[in-house]
């Protein structure tokens, strides 16, 4: 969302990291929950004009979008029970990563640092 939204200190960092990952030919993946978050956020702040550009940018940048199925949600439940102060959305992302054997994440959210076997990429 930093890539499309209004100016923010993380916008430049996000641009740099994504460019670097693309240049290094890293496989970039996400899950369907990210698209739902875009819908939720830009509707909540009454900025629906950002939905299309954000979807378009993600679809051009991402190599694969993982579905969020019942197995992913069941694993997210287990993650939430083990990490009670973790958000449900973050638990879904971690579960999706584990289901699809992805162990690195680019996020500014330091909560991911608490999850064993998940490495948060730095800038």
CATH number at residue 77: 3.40.50.1010
Structural domain for 65, as ranges: 9-120
> What does the pLDDT look like over 3-60, one tens digit per residue?
777 788 888 898 899 999 999 999 999 999 999 999 999 999 999 999 999 999 999 9
How many domains in the chain?
1
115, 94 in Cβ contact below 8 A?
A: yes
For residue 17, give the nearest of 4, 31, 28 by alpha carbon. 28
Strand partners, 120: 105
> What does the pLDDT look like over 66-98, one tens digit per residue?
999 999 999 999 999 999 899 999 999 999 999
pTM of the model: 0.89
Within-domain flag for 50: yes
Within-domain flag for 94: yes
Within-domain flag for 16: yes
């Amino acid at each position: 969302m930093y890539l499309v939204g209004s100016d923010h200190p993380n916008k430049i960092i996000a641009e740099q990291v994504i460019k670097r990952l693309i240049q290094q030919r890293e496989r970039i993946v996400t899950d369907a929950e990210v698209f739902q978050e875009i819908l939720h956020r830009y509707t909540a702040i009454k900025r629906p004009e950002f939905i299309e550009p954000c979807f378009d940018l993600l679809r051009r940048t991402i190599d694969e979008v993982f579905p969020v199925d019942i197995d992913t949600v069941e694993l997210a439940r287990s993650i939430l029970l083990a990490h009670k102060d973790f958000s449900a959305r973050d638990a879904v992302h971690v579960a999706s990563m584990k289901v699809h054997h992805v162990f690195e994440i680019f996020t500014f959210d330091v909560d991911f640092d608490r999850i064993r076997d998940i490495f948060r990429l730095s800038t």
